[in-house]
Amino acid sequence: MMNMGFDEEMFHFMITSANQGRQFVATPKHAKRIYLLLKQQIENYEKQFGEIKTQLPTSPSNTQEENNKTFF
């Protein structure tokens, strides 16, 4: 599972699997670079193996702070 959140200065990533977890923090500029690289790799993958069909899970949110977090 991966949890993400952000504030004005940082993006926060928490990746968990079984009983282990890792936390990463990136500036907005570095987060955008990660996004661009991941986007490029996914596009290359889909050219070779076909479209990946998926969507983000939804979770109910009531506050703006909760809207800045994504869980998947």
Contact (CB, 8 A) for 13 and 4: yes
Residues β-bridged to residue 3: 14, 71
Taking CA atoms, 28 is separated from 9, 11, 58, in Å, by 7, 6, 24
Predicted confidence at residue 67, as pLDDT, reads 55
Predicted confidence at residue 58, as pLDDT, reads 80
Nearest to 59 by CA among 48, 50, 68: 68
DSSP 13: E
Question: What is this structure's pTM?
Answer: 0.69
Q: Which residue has the higher pLDDT, 38 or 71?
A: 38
Q: Which two tokens stand for residue 53?
A: 């069909």
Q: What is the pLDDT of residues 18-60, one digit of tens each?
A: 899 999 999 999 999 999 999 999 999 999 999 999 988 786 6
